Chain A
């Protein structure tokens, strides 16, 4: 889930979140190592298990993260997933007091676990299901801020914070309409995690600056490419407004 908040004074907050409890790696170097290890073996078309094992041996934090991610029951669709910032950020109040924060978009829609296998030959079934739901009623998420304690790790997105941390319900997101890719900002806006308003800052998490750099390079390349046909079109997901 990617959100863009436009503040009245022209400031902006962009956030791109995923539906895992933690991130798979803790540093850009580990991310690179993981990509190299995951590269499909031309003989089998799959990742080489020996290389993956070596990667996890070198990065035990990623091995633990992979277990946590696997332990989470997949949800049935986009509408009942919880999306997290995973990286830690720092909230700064008017007096300059700094508080580490991670945030989550927690669905109001009740959780249902996924019923495998996904339908064959319907590549957009998750988007189609979302559009079908939206034709019936708007969907809602709570923006929940998890407030870190001074010792909580802010520089390692593979480690969850203890479950008893204060949580602040900061508002409700309501989605009542849907558009295809061709019209959407998803294509024309870079959801750089470091587009932040005054008062929210990067933490010492090394992934943040790296995400910013890599998103920028990929956004630039995309801007130079011819616009390809949308995978999810306007007509497919049309929601006649309530």
Chain B
């Protein structure tokens, strides 16, 4: 156990909760647009869960200022450190933008943004179909971006854990 500086407990909890939420969101999103029968029920989960991701990402960002990540493993090269922090920033950015774009595109299409029962969010953009189409395509592009960045993140961790066996995963393990 000794020798590996770990992320703070709140950081670890937020990390794994959000990992599950975002992964679920990607699968829900991809399945619902390919489904007729499950479209409505999946979208009814997609909206509130997506907004929850937005809330969590803000909380997580604040948490990161309070509990900065532990220093990198000593034998990571400076190039690898740059890639690692850049990919983390990219993940934060995508997790923040994606739900905002989802909310924005529904606003631009003038859909009510229902979370559950009578609870709904106000529109954040004017009713504009052009804007809707742009944001709707952005939502797809950002979803691909999230998938790819997530895969890169996963591959990096797997490489460290299986090939280098440097206990990198210990830092974030629950």
A residues apposed to B, CB below 8 Å: 9-12, 28, 188-190, 192, 194-195, 197-198, 202, 206, 208-210, 212-214, 216-217, 219-220, 222-224
Contacts and interface: CB of A to CB of B under 8 A. Distances in A.
B120 interface: yes
Contacts of A190: 109, 111
Contacts of A10: 112, 120, 122
Contacts of B78: none
Contacts, number: 60
Contact of B112 (A12, A188, A216, A222): A12
The 6 A-B residue pairs whose C-beta atoms are closest, nearest first, are A213-B39, A210-B36, A198-B118, A209-B40, A223-B133, A223-B129
A216 B106 CA distance: 11
Given A10-B120, A11-B112, A188-B110, A210 B37 contact: yes
A71 B37 CA distance: 31
Interface of B: 32-33, 35-41, 43, 109-112, 117-118, 120, 122, 127, 129-130, 132-133, 136
A209 B37 contact: yes
B36 A209 contact: yes
A228 B110 CA distance: 21
Contacts of A189: 110
A195 B120 CA distance: 12
B136 A212 contact: no
A146 to B, nearest CB: 23
A217 to B, nearest CB: 8
A11 B120 contact: yes
Given A28-B36, A188-B127, A206-B37, A223 B136 contact: yes
A222 to B, nearest CB: 8
B112 A209 contact: no
Contact of A220 (B32, B35, B118, B136): B136
B35 A213 contact: yes
A223 B129 CA distance: 5
Given A188-B110, A190-B109, A9 B118 contact: yes
A208 B40 contact: yes
A209 B39 contact: yes
A11 B132 contact: no
B136 to A, nearest CB: 6
A147 B133 CA distance: 39
A63 to B, nearest CB: 23
A11 B117 CA distance: 10
A220 B120 CA distance: 22
Given A190-B111, A209-B37, A213-B35, 9 more contacts: A188-B129, A198-B117, A198-B118, A206-B36, A210-B36, A213-B33, A216-B39, A220-B133, A223-B109
Contacts of B43: 212
Nearest to A202: B40
Q: Which of A10, A214, A222, A223 has the most CB of B within 10 A?
A: A223
Given A10-B122, A223-B132, A212 B109 contact: no
Contact of A209 (B38, B110, B129): B38
A213 B118 contact: no
A90 to B, nearest CB: 13
